[in-house]
Amino acid sequence: MSLVRVRAVAVVGATAVLMTSSCSCQTDTSVPEGVPPPAGAPVPYIDYPARGRPADQLRVWAAQRAPALDIPATALEAYAYAARVAHVENPDCQLAWTTLAGIGMVESRNGTFRGATIAPNGDVTPPIRGVRLDGSNGNMRITDSGGGSPDGEPGFAQAMGPMQFIPETWRLYGVDANNDGIVSPDNVDDAALSAAGYLCNRGGDLATPKGWMTALWAYNQSDPYARSVRDWATAYAAGDSQ
């Protein structure tokens, strides 16, 4: 089965915003303006599949853009690789790397939240975790049916990693993108490609306003969230970091 095609039907939303509720459920009728955001610089063709870490093929492309965008180069490689794989495996989706980067920025400052760093293989340390989704302080109440694994907190779920996946959704959509034999929400390659699969499955054609908004609402049901992702993605397409 394709890396970016759905492996099962998700039973919960993909993510929870790191510092707030997983569903602020606010509406903002201005969101469709500029939706979908621009696709940004074209991603070069790469060998797919490839041995080792496939995203390394985009090292030069990312290094040329990462400083101006203020995105760690390894994260930018991961976003571009995920978008390229989505183009090959699901061309009707038309997912752009700028959308993945916008999500990564809003969710975890592209894997650097609270001083986290990204290793050359894509591993993010220390692991980034969201608030416990126990229903308190206006947060959603989401239990972890996996008994706390892999997020380490029994009972209630926490969003995990640079793309802030809910554990149940990760178990359904998580893939190994860097060929290390481990499917980890704390690896930016795995997280970005898994997010690509989720967005394409939920939104259909992300080059349309309806498809893009449907995908973002599935990821986090909040118009302010979608607006923030849109604005960051638009800035990244323009070649700057706002």
> pLDDT, tens digit, for every residue of 175-228?
999 999 999 999 999 999 999 999 999 999 999 999 999 999 999 988 899 999
Percent of the chain clearing pLDDT 90 (strictly above): 68
| CATH number for region 54-124+161-238 | 1.10.530
Pick the range with the lowest mean pLDDT from 3-12, 27-36, 100-109, 138-147: 3-12
CA distance linking residue 34 with residue 234, whole number of Å: 8
For residues 197 and 233, what is the distance between their CA atoms, to the nearest angstrom? 18
d(CA 26, CA 63): 37
CA 109 to chain centre: 11
pLDDT at 10 over 70: no
pLDDT tens, 42-77? 999 998 788 899 999 999 999 999 999 999 999 999
Q: Which residues contact 162 (CB under 8 A, 6 or more apart)?
A: 75, 104, 107, 108, 110, 111, 116, 118, 124, 128, 186, 188, 191, 192
Q: Which residue has the tokens 């090959």?
A: 88
Residue 20 contacts by C-beta under 8 Å, 6 or more apart in sequence? 131, 139
33 pLDDT tier (thresholds 50, 70, 90): confident
For the chain, give the number of residues: 242
Per-residue pLDDT at 230 exceeds 80: yes
pTM of the model: 0.85
Asked if pLDDT for residue 40 goes beyond 60, the answer is yes
- Residue 59 amino acid letter: R
